Amino acid sequence: MENKIRPTKKQQEMLLFVADYINQHGYSPSYREIMVGLNYTSVATVALHINNLISRGHLIKRDHSARSLELSDSKKSTQLITNQVSPSEEKWLIKKIDYYFKQVEESSIKTEIEIDKLAILIETLKIFNFEKAAFSFTNRLNQLRSQVN
């Protein structure tokens, strides 16, 4: 499989869709989900592209069962190559930090330890260059700090 045939533009688009879906959900998409996600009008078209990607060595279908697609180089793709965060990971991180803020904001007693934990989460956003999100949380953190003591 070292000499893979380069995928066409449509096949590349499908590979990216499958990879993103697996990264977001932890399992591969169904043919129907691929059809909807890529605006195809037929599941048969999806099956044709999938079969071509399998024969070209870009995809593997385990046990010929549903949701068993894998990228043939998935072992490489699971390794952390950069510190870049995908849009879905960014969204998850911001939602998670917002959840923690809401927990403290709704609490009747606010402690320095909780405030310090929130400050660390804001610094995490800065590390990933999410400056706008960090700024919006900084305002909320300052409001919480004024409520302590």
* pLDDT confidence of residue 83: 59
**Domain total in the chain:** 2
Among candidate residues 77, 96, 127, the one where a domain is terminated: 77
Q: Which domain range does residue 37 map to?
A: 9-77
* pLDDT confidence of residue 148: 82
Q: Is the pLDDT of residue 104 over 80?
A: yes
Among candidate residues 77, 98, 128, the one where a domain is terminated: 77
Q: Is the pLDDT of residue 75 over 50?
A: no
Q: Phi/psi of residue 33, each to 5°?
A: -65, -35
Residues 37 and 56 placed together within one structural domain of the fold: yes
For the chain, percent of residues with pLDDT exceeding 90: 34
Q: What is the pLDDT of residues 11-69, one digit of tens each?
A: 889 999 998 888 888 888 999 999 999 999 999 999 998 988 888 888 888 776 778 88
Residues 100 and 135 placed together within one structural domain of the fold: yes
Residues 70 and 97 placed together within one structural domain of the fold: no
Q: pTM here?
A: 0.48
Higher pLDDT, 74 or 4: 4
pLDDT band for 106, please (50, 70, 90 cuts).
very high
Q: Which residue has tokens 């793709």?
A: 77
CA distances to 46, 122, 149 from 144, in Å: 51, 14, 10
Burial 82-95 (b: 16+ CB within 10 A, else e): eeeeeeeebeebbe
Q: What is the pLDDT of residues 116-144, one digit of tens each?
A: 999 999 998 888 888 888 999 999 999 99
* DSSP symbol at 65: -
Q: Is the pLDDT of residue 84 over 90?
A: no
Tell me if 82 is assigned to some domain: no
What the block records as the tokens of 32 is 């129907």
Residues 91 and 45 placed together within one structural domain of the fold: no
Burial 15-34 (b: 16+ CB within 10 A, else e): beebbebbeeeeebbebebb
Length of the chain: 149
Q: How many CB atoms lie within 10 A of CB 57?
A: 15
Report the pLDDT averaged over residues 76-86: 55
Among candidate residues 77, 97, 129, the one where a domain is terminated: 77
CA-nearest of 121, 123, 129 to 97 is 121
The CATH number for 23's domain is 1.10.10.10
What the block records as the tokens of 45 is 């078209």
Q: Is the pLDDT of residue 72 over 50?
A: yes
Residues 55 and 93 placed together within one structural domain of the fold: no
